[in-house]
Amino acid sequence: MTRSSEAAHGEVRGRNTRDARLADRLAAALDRPAAQQPEWPDPARARTVVELLRTAPPIVAEPETAQLSERLAAVARGQAFLLQSGDCAETFAETTASHLRANLGLLKRMSLLLARAAGLPVVPLARMAGQYAKPRSRSVDADGLPVYRGDMVNSAEPTLAARTCDPDRMLHAHEHAARAMTLARRAYAREQSNPRTGPSSYPHGTAGGRLVGTAEETGRDQGPRSEQIYVGHEMLLLDYECAPLRAAGLTTGPEPLLVSPLAHFLWIGERTRGLGDAHLAVAELLANPIGVKIGPSTTPEEAVEYVRRLDPHATPGRLTLISRMGRSQVREVLPPIVEKVTSTGHQVVWQCDAMHGNSRTTPDGRKTRHFDDIVAEIEGFFEVHRSLGTHPGGLHLEATGEDVTECLGGARGLGEADLPARYRTACDPRLNEEQSMELAFTVADLLAE
């Protein structure tokens, strides 16, 4: 592991007192323990790569990130809905226009359906352009090989050479992220002129017909603007994530912050959310909106600590709490967390990740999820929020517009025997187009209630 922030932030340090303080705070954050970091076999090369990443071109622009923050504030206030979706693990091989267009098209169609049904603007957030590093429960696989940690770290190919961590992959990941973002912007612009999903497809003048992303929602009088696509990924690999951080132009409080040019939205995963750990300490320094995954072992006290640390100035939507409790635990574990957080007066976005608490393995060793379990967790999530008077603000899905066979169930009733046909994910199983749209209809009904 490198995380040599001293070297990485020499440039920031040199500029002025504000930047020197930021560099010191980042160095202190990175001195904390960090889980799930690769052991680079060549630390000197890793340091060189970190140096190169420091000046890599931005993937996203800060004003877009600020715009997402405004839109998440609307979600936190109950005036909009957040829909996040994409691959569990992006691969370099699938930085193609057709794959990105398939996933974005699906996100767009689900967003449109939900916006129409609920009469609420929907904020589309793609798991894209950076989702190349994966946390893993075990460090070796069934064959005793080092586990695949995402294309940013090693290769999925089952040989020792391919599984050896390679720091140069961080540079490739950045190139792929930049390319993916360019393709995504182009794909989204094309959707704008599509009569099925573009702005003119929205009925005007009715409660259900508010244009997604209008000035009405953002509170700024700039007239209807074209839809912006936002991207986010798990902030996992700190060498990659921290090297390009720069002083933020915009802050929400008195102290200066850093901003990540790698994504609009970043989240901390279930395995790296320790209160004393580096990931949380780094996230505290960022101006980007932040998410934290909260699994079934999360206590209400811990959740309040995330709120206190990551939303010190009580900025609506600054923090998204992404519950992933599983269908059997959501009704018991989530309510005391929501109550305790609500009692602090902070307005967070409550988002339901209906995937990660509902994973299972088939007898032949394939990771899968059942459509009914996903629906059941979402129903539980809505029930909890409806009974507490809080806003069920969003969904977090692993889904693709490709016709894969990775999750069970849905209208076609996919069974275990159907999975091998088109099981293509590099990590966790994704809903396919048909299952995703069926899910969107179900959620639309819940939102409309």
- Give the interface with ligand PEP as residue ranges (CB under 6 A): 88, 135, 234, 269-271, 293, 324, 353, 356, 428
Which of ligand PEP, Mn ion, none does residue 357 bind to, with CB < 5 to 8 Å depending on kind? none
Closer residue to ligand PEP in complex, CB, 132/188: 132
Which of Mn ion, ligand PEP, none does residue 227 bind to, with CB < 5 to 8 Å depending on kind? none
Hey, what are 346's tokens? 């902070």
Which of Mn ion, ligand PEP, none does residue 369 bind to, with CB < 5 to 8 Å depending on kind? none
Give least dist CB 238 to ligand PEP, A: 15
Closer residue to Mn ion in complex, CB, 347/432: 432
**Residue in this structure with the two tokens 């992959």, named with its chain if needed:** 169
In terms of Cβ atoms closer than 10 Å to its own Cβ (0-12, 13-18, 19+), residue 296 is middle
Give least dist CB 88 to ligand PEP, A: 5
Closer residue to ligand PEP in complex, CB, 112/238: 238
Calculated CA dihedral for residues 40, 44, 48, 51, nearest 10 degrees:
90
Give least dist CB 237 to Mn ion, A: 15
CB-CB neighbours of 44 under 10 Å: 10
- The residue nearest ligand PEP at its CB is 269
Hey, what are 412's tokens? 């076609």
How far apart CA 35 and CA 389 sit, in angstroms, is 36
Hey, what are 282's tokens? 């780094």
Give least dist CB 366 to Mn ion, A: 14
Closer residue to ligand PEP in complex, CB, 135/274: 135
Give least dist CB 173 to Mn ion, A: 17
Which of Mn ion, ligand PEP, none does residue 373 bind to, with CB < 5 to 8 Å depending on kind? none
Hey, what are 110's tokens? 């689900």
Give least dist CB 16 to Mn ion, A: 41
Give least dist CB 117 to ligand PEP, A: 26
Hey, what are 404's tokens? 């894969």
Which of Mn ion, ligand PEP, none does residue 324 bind to, with CB < 5 to 8 Å depending on kind? ligand PEP
Closer residue to Mn ion in complex, CB, 79/359: 359
Q: Provide the 3-class DSSP secondary structure of residue 147.
A: coil
Give least dist CB 202 to ligand PEP, A: 30
Closer residue to ligand PEP in complex, CB, 210/279: 279
CB-CB neighbours of 442 under 10 Å: 15
Size of the site for Mn ion (CB under 5 A): 2
How far apart CA 374 and CA 371 sit, in angstroms, is 5
Phi-psi group of 357: left, alpha or beta (phi > 0 → left; psi -120 to 50 → alpha; rest → beta): alpha
Residues 349, 355, 358: CA angle, nearest 5 degrees: 125
Closer residue to ligand PEP in complex, CB, 149/293: 293
- Look at residues 285, 282, 289, 263 and name the one whose alpha carbon lies nearest to residue 349: 289
Which of ligand PEP, Mn ion, none does residue 166 bind to, with CB < 5 to 8 Å depending on kind? none
Bridge partner residues of 246 (DSSP): 259
DSSP assignment letter at 310: H
According to CB under 5 A, which residues from 419 to 438 bind Mn ion?
A: 428
Q: Are 310 and 280 in contact (CB under 8 A)?
A: yes
Closer residue to Mn ion in complex, CB, 131/154: 131
DSSP assignment letter at 208: G
How far apart CA 197 and CA 185 sit, in angstroms, is 15
Which of ligand PEP, Mn ion, none does residue 135 bind to, with CB < 5 to 8 Å depending on kind? ligand PEP
Which of ligand PEP, Mn ion, none does residue 270 bind to, with CB < 5 to 8 Å depending on kind? ligand PEP
Calculated CA dihedral for residues 151, 143, 427, 361, nearest 10 degrees:
-170
- Look at residues 281, 382, 389, 288 and name the one whose alpha carbon lies nearest to residue 342: 389
Closer residue to ligand PEP in complex, CB, 172/271: 271
Bridge partner residues of 322 (DSSP): 293, 351
Give least dist CB 354 to ligand PEP, A: 11
Which of ligand PEP, Mn ion, none does residue 293 bind to, with CB < 5 to 8 Å depending on kind? ligand PEP
Closer residue to ligand PEP in complex, CB, 212/399: 399
Give least dist CB 381 to ligand PEP, A: 14
Closer residue to Mn ion in complex, CB, 234/438: 234
According to CB under 5 A, which residues from 72 to 111 bind Mn ion?
A: 88
Q: How many CA atoms lie within 13 A of 355 on its CB side?
A: 25
Which of ligand PEP, Mn ion, none does residue 239 bind to, with CB < 5 to 8 Å depending on kind? none
How far apart CA 400 and CA 81 sit, in angstroms, is 20
How far apart CA 235 and CA 149 sit, in angstroms, is 14
Give least dist CB 53 to ligand PEP, A: 23
- Contacts with Mn ion, residue ranges (CB under 5 A): 88, 428
